[in-house]
């Protein structure tokens, strides 16, 4: 599948500064490249940054099939089409699962792997409220505010609603539609199950960025991560949750900046 993407070319801040190479960012479930503009612009000081819309998200095509394996194959097709070799791959949540799967199935291909707040294991599809908040008919709604008010009936969390609303598009007709393939994602409720075999591991240089208050990472997960990725650095933002690239952006970008400064 041909994925939509945004490119942020390498911005050479000082004369003679070399690029660390291409940086690829994979968003999480219900996200898109739009969630990563600030991060991508900042990281372009180190190399060219590509923010991808994964299948059924953003401006990329919709499909009845949605799996980590297929998203990894989409990524492989993107890298081949753009002749990208040895990139740095950053993945958040669902994007992190795709990034790890790609790394496990493409040994020694990545220059570095960066995973945000997800572990190499199965997860339940615990997004019933999110799906319901995007499943009511949008005909007759004349503003985003009215749609947000209707969504509140299913999803009280303001932060998550505002996150979802980034994928709401107003068409030329004045009507609204979701860029997300809501029905397709709803049918893919086993997308986070049985992805990784117990025996798989990776020698890729790997950085895990974790929110200290996140519900996605347990103490057992930290043990599993160390087992799967022996060439590992773990950074925890103590007060952060699952969306530390947004809620704790300063600390998040500082950690990445320090990491990229060490890459030759």
Same domain for 143 and 103: no
Same domain for 77 and 30: yes
d(CA 264, CA 262): 6
Residue ending a domain, among 137, 168, 187, is 187
Tokens of 264: 């030759």
Report the pLDDT value the prediction gives residue 77, as an integer from 0 to 100.
98
Residue ending a domain, among 152, 187, 222, is 187
Residue ending a domain, among 187, 212, 237, is 187
Encode pLDDT of 176-191 as tens digits: 999 999 999 999 999 9
Distance of CA 66 to the CA centre of its chain: 15
Shortest CA distance to 42 belongs to which of 28, 59, 25, 54?
25
Same domain for 198 and 176: no
Same domain for 198 and 180: no
The number of beta carbons lying within 10 Å of the beta carbon of residue 212 is 13
In the chain, how many domains are there? 2
d(CA 2, CA 63): 12
Same domain for 203 and 164: no
**12 pLDDT more than 90:** no
Where does residue 98 rank: exposed (0-12), middle (13-18), buried (19+ CB within 10 A)? Answer: buried
How big is the chain by its Cα radius of gyration, in Å?
18
Encode pLDDT of 197-214 as tens digits: 999 999 999 999 999 999
* Over residues 138-165, mean pLDDT: 97
Q: Which domain holds residue 162?
A: 128-187
Same domain for 176 and 149: yes
**pLDDT mean across residues, the chain:** 96
Same domain for 170 and 222: no
Report percent pLDDT > 70 for the chain: 99
Shortest CA distance to 100 belongs to which of 2, 208, 255?
208
Same domain for 167 and 45: no
Report the pLDDT value the prediction gives residue 264, as an integer from 0 to 100.
62
**15 pLDDT more than 90:** no
Write the DSSP symbol of residue 88.
E
Same domain for 20 and 144: no
d(CA 146, CA 165): 12
d(CA 8, CA 23): 10
Residue 237 maps to which CATH number? 3.40.50.1820
């Amino acid at each position: 599948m041909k994925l939509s993407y945004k490119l942020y070319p390498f911005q050479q801040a000082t004369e003679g500064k070399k690029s660390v190479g291409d940086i690829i960012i994979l968003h999480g479930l219900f996200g898109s490249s739009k969630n990563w503009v600030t991060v991508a612009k900042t990281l372009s000081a180190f190399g060219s940054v590509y923010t991808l819309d994964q299948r059924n998200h953003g401006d990329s095509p919709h499909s009845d099939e949605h799996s980590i394996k297929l998203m990894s194959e989409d990524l492989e097709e993107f890298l081949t089409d753009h002749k990208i070799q040895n990139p740095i791959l950053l993945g958040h949540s669902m994007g992190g699962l795709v990034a790890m799967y790609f790394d496990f199935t493409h040994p020694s291909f990545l220059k570095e792997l960066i995973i945000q707040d997800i572990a190499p294991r199965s997860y339940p599809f615990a997004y019933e409220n999110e799906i319901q908040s995007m499943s009511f008919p949008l005909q007759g709604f004349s503003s985003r505010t009215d749609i947000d008010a209707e969504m509140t009936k299913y999803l009280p969390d303001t932060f998550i609603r505002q996150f979802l609303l980034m994928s709401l598009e107003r068409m030329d007709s004045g009507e609204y539609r979701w860029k997300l393939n809501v029905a397709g994602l709803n049918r893919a409720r086993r997308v986070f199950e049985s992805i990784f075999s117990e025996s798989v591991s990776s020698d890729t240089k790997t950085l895990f960025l974790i929110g200290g208050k996140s519900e996605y990472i347990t103490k057992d997960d930290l043990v599993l991560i160390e087992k799967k990725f022996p060439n590992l650095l773990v950074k925890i933002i103590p007060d952060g949750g699952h969306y530390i690239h947004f809620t704790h952006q300063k600390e998040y970008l500082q950690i990445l900046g320090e990491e990229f400064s060490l890459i030759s």
